[in-house]
Amino acid sequence: MEFSPLPVSTLVGAFLLAFPALFSIVNPIGAALIFHQMLVDHPAETRKRLAPTIALYAFFILLGSLLLGGYVLNFFGVSLGALRVAGGLVVAIRAWALLMTPEEHEERKADQAAPLKSRAEDMAFFPLTMPFTTGPGAISVAIALSSQRPVQGHSVIPFFMGASLAVVVIALMVWGFYRASDKVLALLGVNGARVMSRLMAFLLMCIGVQIVASGVEALVTQFLAGR
The answer to whether residue 124 sits within a structural domain is: yes
Q: What is the pTM of this model?
A: 0.76
Is residue 134 left, alpha or beta, with left meaning phi > 0 and alpha meaning psi from -120 to 50? beta
Q: 131-176: per-residue pLDDT in tens?
A: 778 987 788 889 888 888 887 667 889 999 999 999 999 999 999 9
pLDDT at position 219 over 70: yes
The answer to whether residue 196 sits within a structural domain is: yes
Q: Which domain holds residue 42?
A: 11-226
Instruction: Tell me the pLDDT band of 35, cut-offs 50, 70 and 90.
Output: confident
Q: 104-139: per-residue pLDDT in tens?
A: 555 555 555 554 445 667 788 988 898 778 987 788
The answer to whether residue 3 sits within a structural domain is: no
The answer to whether residue 112 sits within a structural domain is: yes
The answer to whether residue 156 sits within a structural domain is: yes
Report residue 158: phi and psi, to 5°. Answer: -60, -35
pLDDT at position 98 over 90: no
| Residue from 118, 129, 147, 134 nearest 42 by CA | 118
The answer to whether residue 217 sits within a structural domain is: yes
CA distance 225 to 202: 35
CA distance 93 to 106: 16
The answer to whether residue 4 sits within a structural domain is: no
The answer to whether residue 6 sits within a structural domain is: no
**What pLDDT does 1 receive?**
30
Total of domains in the chain: 1
